[in-house]
Amino acid sequence: MSLLGIADLDRVGLETLVESATAMKTDPSRNAGILAGRSIGLFFAKQSLRTWVSCDVAAIQLGAHPLAIRDDTAGMGTRESAADVGRVLARYLDLLAMRVHDHSDLVEIDKWTEIPVVNLLSNLEHPCQAVADLQTIAEHRPLPGARITYLGDGNNVCHSLMLAGATLGADIVVGCPPGYEPDDELMTMARSREGTVTIVHDPEEATRGAEVVYTDVWASMGQESETELRRRHFAPFQVNEKLFALADPEAIFMHCLPAHRGEEVSNVMMDHPRSVVFDQAENRLHAFKAILVDQLDMRDNAGRC
């Protein structure tokens, strides 16, 4: 059992993770120490703040031993193949969580190992972020039927949010400039689930009536050379007070961070009374705890959260 993307979860599985994360946030002592004696590998080929710290703390609070592995030390793809790195680490670890450049590395490692592999971010998806996102939204309104608007690039965060929201019956609107739409295959998959997915190229149309307004940086890691071009294309999609005023009066604002204040989001919106950005960041901790318990199949001992 691995979690390479939201597509690995059905509705019940995703609901279970969100409920478990919520329960562990409500009662921090829940499942404390349940993973005593387990070793969790945290492999990072890309920079990280929230992912690294939240995963490290989550493992410790559950009693496991987290081991951070830097790509410049492991040399995956340079010193040895992804498959061999995975096969070696599987001899030492109970679970391997990885933040990688290329999603195919996760697929290859999962193919050759018998321990769970968890995607901490790849160029295709960011499933742990999506679980925390749904947990955050559920703290404010029921997920089925919620209108969630994502404004920005159809990137990995967008992919996982789109799939996760649609799985639990939300109506997803992606507002982006032409040419920056989400992956066609993942859109088709999301549209086969319980919610709806709509692509809109007008930011005002996308935002009008939204109960959740979500954005991300316009240029992700590895796209720095496109920064100026993307700024021009995405400028109308900045989440500011004027655009946010078109949303539902009780709408919340979300951002997975890091944020470029003054670009994809105004400084005022980051600190807006209805901004839940830092609640969302905190929930990365609780979401990863739920994922660890689920992936290591400890639910029977822990009691279903």
For residue 187, give the CATH number of its domain. 3.40.50.1370
Together in a domain, 47 and 101: yes
In a domain, 236, yes or no: yes
In a domain, 131, yes or no: no
Question: Which residues have a catalytic role annotated?
Answer: 99, 126, 129, 216, 256, 284
Q: How far apart are CA 124 and CA 105, in angstroms?
A: 11
Query: Which residue range is the domain that position 257 belongs to?
Result: 140-275
In a domain, 25, yes or no: yes
Together in a domain, 157 and 242: yes
Mapped onto helix, strand or coil, the DSSP state of residue 103 is helix
Q: pTM to 2 decimals?
A: 0.95
Specify the number of domains making up the chain.
Answer: 2
| Structure confidence by residue, pLDDT tens digits, 137-167 | 999 999 999 999 999 999 999 999 999 999 9
Are the C-beta atoms of residues 25 and 259 closer than 8 Å to each other? no
| Structure confidence by residue, pLDDT tens digits, 25-79 | 999 998 999 999 999 999 999 889 999 999 999 999 999 999 999 988 888 988 9
In a domain, 89, yes or no: yes
| Structure confidence by residue, pLDDT tens digits, 235-255 | 999 999 999 999 999 999 999
Together in a domain, 221 and 247: yes
First to last CA, the chain: 19
